[in-house]
A and B are shown apart, each in its own frame.
Chain A
Amino acid sequence: MRPATPSSDDITAIIAAHSGLEGPLLPMLHALQDAFGFVPQTAHAPICDALNISKAELHGVISFYHDFRDAPAGRHVVKICRAEACQAMGGAALAESVLAKLGLDWHGTTRNGAITIEPVYCLGLCACAPAAMVDDRVVGRVDAAKLDKFLAEAGA
């Protein structure tokens, strides 16, 4: 289980474990997100202090990478590809129907905290478009039925 609220001791320990690396910021952010599921706001000042960077620079880096979160995601994350090949194979309609069904917008999380829906731009599965990614698993040739099945399993 992930801790509900990251403690400052945990944050300090993760930062300290990575500050000796060359190019420490990204490994540090990854480690924080791995530990807490997101990069907590309370970690920003200690990161800036440890790496002697400004809060603007940190914001620039975190916001550059879409996968860094500033709040925890749902228990499961579904990413639907929005790139050209998948759109051509009906990905856009599929995405819209999923969003409508869950009553969410992109990046939204269901009320029960089960699922977060995110757009992604190319999973490298163009040959099997439309593609999606469910947690750490990529899925090719998705259709409404496949997704519905997963959504039901996940408790949406």
Chain B
Amino acid sequence: MKDFIIPPMDWKDERDMGTPAKVGAPVTLSIDGFDVTVPEGTSVMRAAAEAGIQVPKLCATDSLDAFGSCRLCVVEIEGRRGTPASCTTPVAPGMVVRTQSDSVRKIRKGVMELYISDHPLDCLTCSANGDCELQDMAGAVGLRDVRYTAPDGGGLANHFAARNTSGEANPEWRPKDDSNPYFSYDASKCIVCNRCVRACEEVQGTFALTIEGRGFDSRVSFGAKTDDALASDCVSCGACVQACPTATLQEKSVIEMGTPDRAVVTTCAYCGVGCSFKAEMQGDQLVRMVPYKHGKANRGHSCVKGRFAYGYASHKDRILNPMIRDRISDPWREVSWDEALGFAAKKMRGIQAEYGQKSIGVITSSRCTNEETYLVQKLARAVFGNNNTDTCARVCHSPTGYGLGQTFGTSAGTQDFDSVEHTDVVIVIGANPTDGHPVFASRLKKRLRAGAKLIVIDPRRIDLVKSAHVKAAHHLPLRPGTNVAVVTALAHVIVTEGLMDEAFIRERCDWDEFQDYAAFVSDPRHSPEANELLTGVPSAELREAARLFATGGNGAIYYGLGVTEHSQGSTTVMSIANLAMLTGNLGRPGVGVNPLRGQNNVQGACDMGSFPHELPGYRHVKNDDVRDLFKSVWGVEIDSEPGLRIPNMLDAAVDGTFKGLYCQGEDILQSDPDTKHVAAGLAAMECVIVHDLFLNETANYAHVFLPGSTFLEKDGTFTNAERRINRVREVMKPRNGYADWEITQKLANAMGANWSYMHPSQIMDEIALTTPSFAGVSYTVLEEKGSVQWPCNEAHPDGTPLMHVDGFVRGKGRFIVTEYVATDEKTGPRFPLLLTTGRILSQYNVGAQTRRTENVVWHEADLLEIHPHDAENRGINEGDYIKLASRSGETSLRAKITDRVSPGVVYTTFHHPDTQANVITTDYSDWATNCPEYKVTAVQVSPSNGPSEWQEDYAAQAAQARRILPAAE
């Protein structure tokens, strides 16, 4: 098998250019005799770096604006007095710069000598040894001597010695701050270059760091006077650690293990932003993850999950051997791969023989690679001989697929993430980017600080509504379940006040359909005033928001699961698409409709034909030509009948007609709604094959457990929310023995298939062969370009950053009438509150990964957010155990009293299986796609004194089901 080595390419040039790149007219200057042409506004430092000349520097780095404090980068410029700092001096035409001369050399050496006079000289035992810019610069300026030494008997003030030579404590010295689980702050090594503070402000946008004091007393401080790193506002994104030129802010893993010796560029396996990372390694051990500066989704930034929360890959709970059992009440038996796969294949074929060809199915994973997902749906279609394949997108973004498909003609976001840099007005609806998509949130906040306006439509006061240097122009705190009414009311204001972009609509959309739509939304019953009682949104605020969006310049809409996970999820997606077309906000940078995808590869899983009615590339199975194409490649007949969706599989299981399931990398028991129904469905099956890293909750009902591989252990591709196909690279061999695609292939072959893929690149070649929007994608292209955004084919050989530029994929954009229909889930005397669910920054989805990392210091249990008014009515105090009950079930958890939620609304997360928030959620779902209505459940909250009966039964069952027999001698 061929391992791919990254070729030396331009996109791999990782030199620190000192200051950010600029865009502008070309300017030519001379640096050390070389002519250099750079864009206007570029710093002399960067221009020199472009010419291959590195000017010594400490406080400059190309992720941050120039600061000009270290004075190491001084240069001589002909005709200018003194020695200007090259980082803060912009280039000018004809400028003549000398970066080296006796006088600048002397200045630099003097500056360096002062720095080193207040720095410990323990380089050999320092954690940054070999990875320290201070060390490098001392070398670069030729520092040989430090003259500032303590006189005999006297002490010089410094920050690095805990005690002076007489043994007295040094009041200037501060102990290390180890409060953050992932990095330490050692003030004794700090040179106060401000890079960390600026990274926290400019890159992350949290403003958790500052310089306290002045002069000799200046030091980096987390939060307020008495805070440590953990107690401050720090979100542990690690931008400061990355920016630090010394060992002051250092990853604990580096302190423990030492510096890495090689790096592999790969893609994060958490959220749909799809950040590129360098996995920095020693042998097969991961030392640290560093966001890759040329990653086009993240541009060198990361969040706490991607950078630090990889410990699950080596957690003791990870299962590394296949296991089987006859009944779910039996303990697991560890067996060989052959035995496990043989057992699984025999059972599945047996079920088909007894209950029919359609009695088994698969669930593909949005966390696995495109190649793996493709193989799993192929397993259902080509080996099982049915279309029983579905994926967790069913429970998150299936309405996006349907809604955008209907209106624009394609099932994906319209922009790339860079687009946010050009936007003027942003609507964030049903999404909480600072927690769910943190790196995108940082990019958005940067744009907001530069003056863009923000409209937040969310029942909760999310951080974006107001946090340091960010304030939404309008927050529309709607009642959960009234999205359609609110978005239609926005459209009502725009149409009735004549604020729509008529030229765009006439040119790009179907005018007749628009007429119908305009008549519909203009009806007074859609006015903000008419809907105020229903939605809870003040009509004046809504009108202002609508006017701002229609007239404020480039308008972009970003949305998340708060839009899709409703009984009218698809309708809301269409109404958002309508709003974008109405205001002409499509087809250029800074605008668009942008779904924020939950999981790393949920876009890819949808693209790869995971849905029961669609073959790869969103082509319906009823189309003969598509089936013929796959028949010609796969050599088998494809069923023309759509298969079962996840909820249908579970219903059929309860009815006794669906008996076998292969579930890869998804925990449907915890993540799907109405846990009791899911459990009943799983319990009724005869063969459940779970393919996962851990014995997850679904595995409690499984008969075969196939251990999975992590994203660090395989090659493949993930497709992020901007349709970007990013490479995932094997940085270590699978600890469980096989990459997931190999395991699926083995299962297929055990069931009689004859697959012989040697490398995921061959699977991608097959995808390219069969799927028009991927036709131009191959591993060779990805190595060359770093990443591409589909469609990538003959018409778009470099991929497509922006969709619908010259026209919609479906031709004319289609306005669809979006009538508000209230959900059947209604509050009443027994269940007077509305529960809505969401995420938190430090945890990811069902928490199987993040709960097995140090991230639990930020969130060790799910909490119920409740408004003080509702809490007081019920006699509930902060931190009390409460019972949360709905028509479906009940659970208990602790209360957090906050006015982030409105009265009548409660909120929780679903990261912890011992809470099982989905016991509460109902089986209501989107009318078009069956996407469950997670975001609206009528509940009651009452004081409680411990876990509910269900929680206790569940814990007992789980403990029983997770027993593993000791390995046979």
Query: B221 and A56: CB pair below 8 A?
Result: yes
**A53-B207 CB under 8 A given contacts A60-B212, A64-B213:** yes
**A54-B206 CB under 8 A given contacts A44-B224, A59-B221, A63-B225:** yes
A44 CA to B467 CA in the complex, in Å?
15
Chain A neighbourhood of B223, CB < 8 A: 54-56, 59
Q: How large is the interface on A (under 10, 10 to 19, 20 to 34, 35 or more residues)?
A: 10 to 19
Smallest Cβ-Cβ distance to A60: which chain B residue: B210
Query: A60 and B221: CB pair below 8 A?
Result: yes
Chain B neighbourhood of A56, CB < 8 A: 207-210, 221-224, 227, 232-233
Query: A59 and B208: CB pair below 8 A?
Result: no
CB of B214 closer than 8 Å to a CB of A: yes
A54 CA to B212 CA in the complex, in Å?
14
CB of B211 closer than 8 Å to a CB of A: yes
**A52-B232 CB under 8 A given contacts A58-B224, A59-B221, A63-B213:** no
CB of A70 closer than 8 Å to a CB of B: yes
Nearest CB of chain A from residue B199's CB, rounded to whole Å = 13
Query: A59 and B224: CB pair below 8 A?
Result: yes
Nearest CB of chain B from residue A58's CB, rounded to whole Å = 7
CB of B466 closer than 8 Å to a CB of A: yes
Nearest CB of chain A from residue B450's CB, rounded to whole Å = 15
Chain B neighbourhood of A53, CB < 8 A: 207, 468-469
Smallest Cβ-Cβ distance to A65: which chain B residue: B214
Smallest Cβ-Cβ distance to A53: which chain B residue: B468
Chain A neighbourhood of B622, CB < 8 A: none
Interface of B is mostly: loop
Of the candidates B225, B233, B469, B470, the one whose C-beta lies within 8 Å of that of A70 is B225
Smallest Cβ-Cβ distance to B206: which chain A residue: A54
A56 CA to B470 CA in the complex, in Å?
16
CB of A57 closer than 8 Å to a CB of B: yes
A60 CA to B208 CA in the complex, in Å?
11
Of the candidates A52, A55, A59, A60, the one whose C-beta lies within 8 Å of that of B466 is A52
Nearest CB of chain B from residue A119's CB, rounded to whole Å = 12
Count A-B pairs with CB separation below 8 Å: 57
Q: How large is the interface on B (under 10, 10 to 19, 20 to 34, 35 or more residues)?
A: 20 to 34
Q: Interface code B8-19, partner A: CB below 8 Å = 1, 0 otherwise? A: 000000000000
Chain A neighbourhood of B214, CB < 8 A: 63-64, 66
Smallest Cβ-Cβ distance to B234: which chain A residue: A56
Query: A54 and B221: CB pair below 8 A?
Result: no
Smallest Cβ-Cβ distance to B217: which chain A residue: A63
Chain B neighbourhood of A52, CB < 8 A: 466-471
Query: B225 and A54: CB pair below 8 A?
Result: no
Q: Interface code A114-130, partner B: CB below 8 Å = 1, 0 otherwise? A: 00000000000000000
Chain B neighbourhood of A66, CB < 8 A: 214
Nearest CB of chain A from residue B394's CB, rounded to whole Å = 40
Chain A neighbourhood of B471, CB < 8 A: 52
A64 CA to B209 CA in the complex, in Å?
14
Chain A neighbourhood of B227, CB < 8 A: 55-56
Query: A57 and B210: CB pair below 8 A?
Result: yes
Nearest CB of chain A from residue B624's CB, rounded to whole Å = 60
Chain B neighbourhood of A57, CB < 8 A: 207, 210, 468
Chain A neighbourhood of B206, CB < 8 A: 54
A34 CA to B211 CA in the complex, in Å?
25
Q: Interface code A45-75, partner B: CB below 8 Å = 1, 0 otherwise? A: 0001000111111111001101000100000
Chain B neighbourhood of A48, CB < 8 A: 468
Query: A59 and B225: CB pair below 8 A?
Result: yes
A53 CA to B201 CA in the complex, in Å?
11
Nearest CB of chain B from residue A109's CB, rounded to whole Å = 19
Chain A neighbourhood of B208, CB < 8 A: 54, 56
Smallest Cβ-Cβ distance to B232: which chain A residue: A56
- Residue from the set B206, B207, B213, B232 with the largest chain A CB neighbour count within 10 Å: B207
Of the candidates B211, B232, B468, the one whose C-beta lies within 8 Å of that of A60 is B211
A60 CA to B198 CA in the complex, in Å?
13
Chain B neighbourhood of A60, CB < 8 A: 210-212, 221
Smallest Cβ-Cβ distance to A44: which chain B residue: B224
Query: A59 and B210: CB pair below 8 A?
Result: yes
Nearest CB of chain B from residue A87's CB, rounded to whole Å = 16
A44 CA to B469 CA in the complex, in Å?
16
Smallest Cβ-Cβ distance to B223: which chain A residue: A56
A53 CA to B209 CA in the complex, in Å?
12
Chain A neighbourhood of B209, CB < 8 A: 56
A48 CA to B224 CA in the complex, in Å?
11
CB proximity to A under 8 Å, residues B532-563: none
Would you mind naming 14 contact pairs between A and B with Cβ atoms under 8 Å apart? A44-B224, A52-B467, A52-B470, A54-B206, A54-B207, A55-B223, A56-B210, A56-B224, A56-B227, A56-B233, A63-B225, A64-B212, A64-B213, A64-B214
Please report B residues at the A interface, Cβ cutoff 8 Å: 206-214, 221-225, 227, 232-233, 466-471
Please report A residues at the B interface, Cβ cutoff 8 Å: 44, 48, 52-60, 63-64, 66, 70
Told that A56-B210, A64-B214 touch, could you supply 18 new A-B pairs with CB distance under 8 A?
Answer: A52-B469, A52-B470, A53-B468, A53-B469, A54-B206, A54-B223, A55-B232, A55-B233, A56-B208, A56-B209, A56-B221, A57-B207, A57-B210, A57-B468, A59-B223, A59-B225, A60-B210, A63-B212
The 8 closest A-B pairs by CB, nearest first: A60-B210, A54-B207, A54-B468, A56-B210, A63-B212, A55-B224, A59-B224, A64-B214
